[in-house]
Structure 1
Amino acid sequence: MRAIVMDSYGGPEVLQVKDVPEPGAEPDTRRIEVTLAGVNFADLLVREDDYLTSVPLPFVPGNEVVGRADGQRVAALMRGGGYAQVSRSGVATTFPVPDDVPDDTALALTLQGQSAWHLLHTVLGVRAGETVIVPAAAGGVGSLAVQLAKRAGARVVAMAGSPEKRSFVSGLGADAVVDSRSESLAEALAEASGGGADAALEMTGGETLRATLDALVPLGRMAVYGGAESMESPVDTRALMSTGKTISGFWLPLLYGRRDAMTDAAADLFAAVRAGELRVPPVTVYPLTEAARAQEDLRARRTVGKVALDPAN
């Protein structure tokens, strides 16, 4: 089969198209003929050996796919192996895709949809009437989180880095949209939140993490799920104690062993799409052979919504 293989860590050039054997059969797994493979920021960190865990080389990147398993349309989460024509996933993290949900929509609801859902509901426990800050709101997780937070009855203050992206996020229903590149980000977020937010998602790190934390009200809650600019973000524990603010880490694979958590979220996400309560932004699809360009465009923030690879090209 054809796949993208990393023989070393480094820049986009380490992503090479190769013919490799199909992944071997393992207990409690399903073989998937991949129609779309998701590209996520975590893939870039894995490639640079800057992720939460290192991977064995050679390595096929990709943590989510949509395809067919035993003739059934499925979406699946895995720990690598997605950038390929054939992949394998655990039974617990493989879900049937309803006939009325297109492949690209199902892909966007898999890793990023599950992440947005669990960040808001499992980690932060967002309630109606609360104000929530959503970063990178034109991206895959952010665009879904904006809508899911509104669906939960929250007020949403979103961040985006360009006028075009801020306009796009406003169209998703955000109550206020702040320039994520503002030199006075904490003040802008607090003002847009009406004096402070109750909860926040965070995936940038560094100064953005500190500004977002400052924009929370006392006893405010933050869920950290990435570090696009920095994975090292010192926090003043005295400030945490004196304000009662909470910072929680989130990594979706920690839930992979809890099938009920994954299936419940998947069912609710598909229901939200069917009810017209969740609109999945258009998915940008690159040929598998252009995986490096897809990652470069994602890094440069040239994309909106979900980014995917087509193994057939």
Structure 2
Amino acid sequence: MRAVEFQEYGDPEVLRVMQAETPEPGPGQVSIDAAYAGVNFADLKARAEGYRVQSLPFRPGLEVSGRIRAVGDGVEGLAPGQEVAALVGGGAYAEVVVADTATVFPLPEGMDLRTAATLPTVVPTAHALLHEAGGLRAGQTVLVHGAAGGIGTVAGQLARAAGAAAVYGVVSSSAKAGHALEHGYDEVFSADTFDDDVRRATAGRGVDLVLDPVGGDTLRRGLDALAVYGRLVSFGNASGAEPWHVGQPELYARGLSVGGFSILALAQSAPDALRALAERAFRTVSNGTVNLPVTAEFALSDAADAHRLMGGRTSTGKLLLRIAD
């Protein structure tokens, strides 16, 4: 089978299409004939700096859709030929992917495999950031960094559907603002001035919830943009900054809270909670609440081009690799 791997860290050029042995599922696993794989920023961090890479060579890719090829010992409720989406710790850039059954999700009726490939990481993450971790209530206000990306696109729609009083987004360029405004956002701010913009838009009150994948100084400024009793949920450190510790001086005076979320960590520590979260999140796509547009699709052999596009910070929505012809 064909698979995309890298044997050293570096620019997109280190991604290579290789011939590899077709994997067989172990106990509690299935193998999947892949149709599509999602491209995520975590894949770029793995390739460039070894994020979550245990050893080299490494095969990136966290999410895949396709048809079950074979099932391992002890697997119940899943069968060859069944259409599924799956979350994996790596390895989705391949024609055949092995996944633990705890993170394999049968597709809702009527959902196609292309749409399904957009779901496993992005939609549950956005749902958890707003609801399970963020505790959003109707009438509250939200600020979402990366509003034009995959998670941001979903978060804007979910916040609007939840009855948020105002949904504000932060984008890295003015070219992305239009995409965000079409997907649930009331106003879109620049990354350079978002804290001042929030205070202007809320007459100095601040927002009730901030979703931050950037970290570093952006996280610190996000805390300053919170209203009394506001919450900030961290879900990444795209800035690469040293971890910043928050404590009594920053939180006590206004009753602020800081939380965090990682879908990969949840998959390892609480797979039953992940499955319940995924079912709730997937329903928002099935019932039309959420639409995550695929804005670019690449052949498996062009994975490097997908990484260049995402790494250039000009992409919006979701990027996919087309695995099957």
TM-score, length basis structure 2: 0.89
What whole-Å deviation, never above 9, does each CA across 1:247-287 have from its counterpart, x for those lacking one?
Answer: 22221122215344333333333332233221222342111
Runs of 4+ off more than 4 Å: none
Correspondence 1:29 to 2:29:
yes
What whole-Å deviation, never above 9, does each CA across 1:103-125 have from its counterpart, x for those lacking one?
Answer: 22222221111111111122111
Assess if the C-alpha contact under 8 Å between 2:294 and 2:319 holds in 1. Answer: no
Assess if the C-alpha contact under 8 Å between 2:95 and 2:324 holds in 1. Answer: yes
SS at match of 2:49: coil
Assess if the C-alpha contact under 8 Å between 2:2 and 2:20 holds in 1. Answer: yes
SS at match of 2:294: coil
Match for residue 158 of structure 2?
Answer: 148
Aligned mates of 1:58, 1:252 — CA distance in 2 = 24
Assess if the C-alpha contact under 8 Å between 1:30 and 1:88 holds in 2. Answer: yes
Assess if the C-alpha contact under 8 Å between 2:35 and 2:114 holds in 1. Answer: no
Matched pairs, number: 310
Residue identity in the other structure for 2:158: L
The CA RMSD over aligned residues, in Å, is 1.8
Shift of 1:240: 2.6
SS at match of 2:110: coil
Query: Of 109, 119, 125, which residue of structure 1 is paired with 2:119?
Result: 109
Assess if the C-alpha contact under 8 Å between 2:85 and 2:107 holds in 1. Answer: yes
SS at match of 1:48: helix
Shift of 1:179: 2.0
Residue identity in the other structure for 2:37: A
Identity among equivalent positions (%) equals 38
Query: Of 186, 193, 198, which residue of structure 2 is paired with 1:189?
Result: 198
Match for residue 182 of structure 2?
Answer: 171
What whole-Å deviation, never above 9, does each CA across 1:32-61 have from its counterpart, x for those lacking one?
Answer: 00000111001111112352x332111111
Q: Where does structure 2 lack aligned partners over 5 or more consecutive residues?
A: 69-79
Greater displacement, 77-86 / 108-117: 108-117
**CA 1:185–1:94 in structure 2 vs 1: closer, same or farther (change >3 Å)?**
same
**CA 1:67–1:232 in structure 2 vs 1: closer, same or farther (change >3 Å)?**
same
Aligned mates of 2:108, 2:96 — CA distance in 1 = 21
TM-score, length basis structure 1: 0.93
Greater displacement, 88-97 / 282-291: 282-291
What whole-Å deviation, never above 9, does each CA across 1:113-149 have from its counterpart, x for those lacking one?
Answer: 1111111122111111111111111110110011111
Query: Of 268, 272, 275, which residue of structure 1 is paired with 2:284?
Result: 272
Match for residue 158 of structure 1?
Answer: 169
SS at match of 2:231: strand
Q: Where does structure 1 lack aligned partners over 5 or more consecutive residues?
A: none
What whole-Å deviation, never above 9, does each CA across 1:158-194 have from its counterpart, x for those lacking one?
Answer: 11233332122111121222122x3x33111222344
Match for residue 315 of structure 2?
Answer: 303
Query: Of 106, 127, 133, which residue of structure 2 is paired with 1:123?
Result: 133
Query: Of 294, 298, 306, which residue of structure 1 is paired with 2:306?
Result: 294
Residue identity in the other structure for 1:200: V
Assess if the C-alpha contact under 8 Å between 1:178 and 1:192 holds in 2. Answer: no
